[in-house]
Amino acid sequence: MVDQVGRVVVKTAGRDAGLKGVVVNILGGNKVLVTGPPSLNGLRRRAVNIMHLLPTAYRVEVGRDASDEEVMRAIENSGLKDFMKRRAEVKRW
């Protein structure tokens, strides 16, 4: 489920833990390209291991390798802007 372009995910590890992002490309080798976009919640575009992501039930309509502006427009059109701004609480074990 994480390996779908447009899937909204939550980062569960690292300094960005709890931030929500959108998958914009599948890189292979258990990695996907995720962006916040940074203007919305601070999550920069970067390659992330899928083991460090938690998929949500939400999906936005974006093309592969969509720009941050296109992702932002898709988030606004789907009404997820407020959801994406809130940081999720991530429990550490």
What does the pLDDT read at residue 83?
94
- Can you give the pLDDT of all 93 residues of the chain as single tens digits? 788 999 999 999 989 999 999 999 999 889 999 999 999 999 999 999 999 999 999 999 999 999 999 999 999 999 999 999 999 988 766
| Cα–Cα distance measured from residue 77 to residue 38, given in angstroms and rounded to the nearest whole number | 18
**Under CATH, to which class is 7-84 assigned?**
mainly beta
Q: What is the pTM of this model?
A: 0.91
What does the pLDDT read at residue 1?
76
